[in-house]
Amino acid sequence: MEPRLQDYFRTETESLQRQSLADIPNGDAWLKDAPRRRARLKFMLGLDPEPPRSPLRPVITGVTEHAEFTVERLHFQSAPGLYVTANLYLPKKRSGPLPAILYVCGHGNVTENGYSYGSKAAYQHHGGWFARNGYACLIIDTLQLAEIEGLHHGTYREKMWWWNSRGYTPAGVEAWNGVRAIDYLQSRPEIDGSRIGVTGRSGGGAYSWWVAAIDERIKAAVPVAGITDLQNYVTDGAVEGHCDCMFMINSERWDYDQVAALVAPRPLLISNSDKDPIFPLDGVYRIHQKTRKIYDLLGAGDKLGLLITEGPHKDTRELQVPALRWFNRFLRDTEAPLTNFAEKFFTPEQLRVFREMPVDQRNTRIQNSFVRSADGEVSKSRNDWRSACKRWREQLGTAVFSGWPAEAPSTAPVEKVNLEKDGVRLRAYDFESQHHTPLRLFILSGKGAVQELGIRLTVLDEARWSPWAAGVAAGFGSAAVGSDVVSAPGDWAALKAMLTRDGPLRAFIAPRGVGAGAYRVDEKKLTQIRRRFMLLGQTLDGMRVWDVVSALSALRTVRDGRYARSTIELAGTGDGAVWALYATIMGSAPPASLMLDQLPGSHAEGPDFLNVLRVLDIPQATALAVETSHVQLSHADPRVVAYTRAVRDVAGWGERRLQVEASSAR
């Protein structure tokens, strides 16, 4: 990774680390604020508002016998059509209701002859062991590694960046399945619903955190190898070893100690091995140290433990035994020595739930509906429209662009290029949009350009950068654009003709990761760069919008504020049009005019911003921009045109505020 980008991620991470759990003066303050924090975590998991607790419709499809326990093969629906395949281990010798363990599986699927038996077959030794030691144990499959195979790898592998825009993470499904599993356990007469613990390792360790943090019915938790901090994930690169189910949509910009602290003051044993490359020891230790602060403030230091064993990322007896002892201590009030160990007794076929797959299953497409999107209806009155505008702006600030800096950069742009050729003058100014984020603002003027007509700032995406930069380089050389131009020879004549006819001055900006500042990495590394932004409560596209806001500010200050009073137009095509659109909405000084070419109809197809589809979509954003700026649409998606025209009648805009044209804006 390029040093400046690495420095950016390090600085952002350090800032969030310093803020995390730094404002808790005492235990009472924590307890008072914990419900709000729990609600924010649920929002980041896509669970606020919470899905309806629909009937579970449990079905036991068979029973497998062991001399000491039985295994019920069952499924239930955590939401209609969202099937959870599970095995319930029940000891044969019992007197009274049993304490229960919810075991959430990691990534350990067993497949034979083309059939997926789920991860419950791989982790069966835990269920049998708990049952032999006096517990009911419900082992549930993951969404992806189950008898019905869903998807965990939307951003990791499938380029489904719209998951970010939707506010969807499979971590939310795993958490919800765990919550509904508790509902099921509490429905069983054999089980004491007031004594339920949760554990799992790797992916199951992460799900243990989610479930224990959001559901206080969990009375003791032992997450194993399931969490570390942002320093490991982002700065050190551990994110590259994890699929999407390990992460919340981090719009609150939390470090992961805040998730851990939500278990307090309930008993929590943090378990890990010392040579685990995807959950490094230093991060686990930092999580424990910050979490201990909260436990100490609550006078519950004896209920927090840290277990470190020797070894790699592996399910070992050294990790298993202390987990059972922890549950014995807090769920059964016993310190009795253990007389047996975890063993596998069954073939995968003996634990199989389905013989025929349910035709109404939604597991394979749950990402399309799990998180509710905004309705996008047209307001019925002007007052309703005004209220919607106010609500959208507030929600965009808190849930979508919360990762932006508090204010625009204070450093003045510095002139780096001042050249003239064939009646065209090029000036280029370097400025920092954000720490470790240098950008170059280009201003081009020809003999026919009239400053009194204003200045048009065009936002360049990668598709538009290449021909533009090639044209400038053909006239002034590649050094002028700060990049070696490798595309086809540029059309200097066309660029010169555009700049020498009467019109406004022309300025151009390529946001971070575009053009001369493109990240010189392969596709896999670029994917992991984008995921790092998400872990910091940002997206790469969302920060590009900030870059456009910064460029507008820089434009008003260059050459001693020469353009401060000029009428500024903002223009963009494709992705650049979306960045320009939101810069208009979210900037403190919107441009007078906005020229949008080839604007996509939805964030499901265009740039991704965290949670944006839970607030609005591109048609609503376009209408919102018309409230402050004259908007010209060229080749826009029909959904955008139809919505903005419908709102025009309600909002009472003048005919000139919205212009729809067939020709492209340049």
For residue 358, give the nearest of 123, 57, 51, 53 by alpha carbon.
57
What count of Cα atoms within 13 Å lies in the side-chain half-sphere of residue 16? 29
Q: Is 109 left (phi over 0), alpha (psi -120 to 50) or beta?
A: beta
Say if residue 441 is in the same domain as residue 584.
Answer: yes
Whether 76 is covered by a domain: the verdict is yes
- Name the residue with tokens 């010798």: 93
Cβ atoms of 230 and 278 closer than 8 Å: no
Alpha helices in 442-514, H assignment, sequence order: 462-476, 492-500
The pair of structure tokens assigned to 260 is 């851990």
pLDDT band at 384 (very low <50, low <70, confident <90, very high): very high
The pair of structure tokens assigned to 71 is 């295994």
Per the document, the length of the chain is 666
- Type of residue found at 388: A
Say if residue 359 is in the same domain as residue 432.
Answer: no
pLDDT band at 666 (very low <50, low <70, confident <90, very high): very low
What CATH number does residue 398 fall under? 3.40.50.1820
Over 70: is that where the pLDDT of 649 sits?
yes
The residues that bridge with 424 in the sheet, in sequence order, are 421, 446
Over 70: is that where the pLDDT of 224 sits?
yes
Mean local confidence (pLDDT), 188-214: 98
pLDDT band at 491 (very low <50, low <70, confident <90, very high): confident
Say if residue 291 is in the same domain as residue 433.
Answer: no
Q: What is the mean pLDDT of the chain?
A: 94
Say if residue 23 is in the same domain as residue 107.
Answer: yes
Angle between helix 618-626 and helix 575-586 axes, rounded to 10 deg: 50
Say if residue 242 is in the same domain as residue 317.
Answer: yes
Mean local confidence (pLDDT), 485-514: 81
Say if residue 201 is in the same domain as residue 67.
Answer: yes
pLDDT band at 655 (very low <50, low <70, confident <90, very high): confident
Q: How far apart are CA 374 and CA 454, in angstroms?
A: 37
Over 70: is that where the pLDDT of 122 sits?
yes
Whether 361 is covered by a domain: the verdict is yes
Say if residue 427 is in the same domain as residue 339.
Answer: no
Q: How far apart are CA 372 and CA 352, in angstroms?
A: 33
Say if residue 76 is in the same domain as residue 160.
Answer: yes
Bond preceding residue 265 cis, omega within 30 of 0: yes
Q: How far apart are CA 364 and CA 357, in angstroms?
A: 12
Say if residue 81 is exposed, middle or buried (CB neighbours under 10 Å; 0-12, 13-18, 19+): middle
Say if residue 219 is in the same domain as residue 265.
Answer: yes
Q: How far apart are CA 576 and CA 463, in angstroms?
A: 9
Whether 666 is covered by a domain: the verdict is no
Q: How far apart are CA 353 and CA 539, in angstroms?
A: 40
Residue-level pLDDT at 558: 86
Cβ atoms of 303 and 245 closer than 8 Å: no
Q: How far apart are CA 80 and CA 74, in angstroms?
A: 16
Of the residues 368, 384, 403, the one at which a domain ends: 368
Say if residue 641 is exposed, middle or buried (CB neighbours under 10 Å; 0-12, 13-18, 19+): middle
The residues that bridge with 506 in the sheet, in sequence order, are 444, 456
Helix or strand holding residue 362 (H, E): none
**DSSP label at 328?**
I
Alpha carbon distances (Å) from 170 to 46, 163, 394, 401, 619: 9, 9, 27, 22, 27
Helix or strand holding residue 317 (H, E): helix 317-327
Alpha carbon distances (Å) from 199 to 150, 178, 196, 265, 351: 22, 11, 10, 17, 20
Alpha helices in 562-655, H assignment, sequence order: 575-586, 612-615, 618-626, 638-651
pLDDT band at 452 (very low <50, low <70, confident <90, very high): low
Q: How far apart are CA 262 and CA 291, in angstroms?
A: 9
The parent domain of residue 142 ranges over 3-368
Say if residue 48 is exposed, middle or buried (CB neighbours under 10 Å; 0-12, 13-18, 19+): middle
Say if residue 398 is in the same domain as residue 341.
Answer: no
Q: How far apart are CA 580 and CA 625, in angstroms?
A: 10
Whether 377 is covered by a domain: the verdict is no
Number of structural domains (the chain) is: 2
Give the helix, strand, coil percentages of the chain, each rounded to 5.
40, 20, 40
Whether 414 is covered by a domain: the verdict is yes
Torsion of Cα atoms, 283 then 288 then 294 then 298, to 10°: 170
Whether 375 is covered by a domain: the verdict is no
Say if residue 181 is in the same domain as residue 260.
Answer: yes
Number of Cβ within a 10 Å radius of residue 550: 25
Gyration radius (Cα) of the chain, Å: 28
Helix or strand holding residue 570 (H, E): strand 568-573
Alpha carbon distances (Å) from 537 to 169, 397, 398, 400: 14, 12, 11, 9
Residue 532 neighbours by CB under 8 Å, 6+ apart: 9, 233, 234, 239
Q: How far apart are CA 217 and CA 431, in angstroms?
A: 52
Lowest mean pLDDT among 150-159, 365-374, 557-566, 648-657: 557-566
Whether 382 is covered by a domain: the verdict is no
The pair of structure tokens assigned to 362 is 């939604």
Over 70: is that where the pLDDT of 664 sits?
no
The pair of structure tokens assigned to 360 is 């109404």
Alpha carbon distances (Å) from 352 to 70, 346, 355, 403, 573: 14, 10, 8, 45, 53
Residue 464 neighbours by CB under 8 Å, 6+ apart: 458, 573, 574, 576
For residue 190, give the nearest of 274, 88, 110 by alpha carbon.
88
% residues pLDDT > 90 (the chain): 86
pTM of the model: 0.95
Q: Per-residue DSSP letters for 171-233?
A: HHHHHHHHHHHHHHHHH-TTEEEEEEEEEEETHHHHHHHHHHHH-TTEEEEEEES----HIII
At 593-633, the pLDDT tens digits run 999 999 999 999 989 999 999 999 999 999 999 999 999 99
The pair of structure tokens assigned to 92 is 């044969």
Say if residue 60 is in the same domain as residue 204.
Answer: yes
pLDDT band at 449 (very low <50, low <70, confident <90, very high): low
How, if at all, do strands 136-140 and 98-104 pair? parallel
Whether 328 is covered by a domain: the verdict is yes
The pair of structure tokens assigned to 103 is 């075991």
Over 60: is that where the pLDDT of 530 sits?
yes
Mean local confidence (pLDDT), 569-598: 96
At 543-573, the pLDDT tens digits run 999 999 999 999 988 876 667 667 899 999 9
Is the CA virtual torsion 429, 434, 438, 441 positive or negative? negative
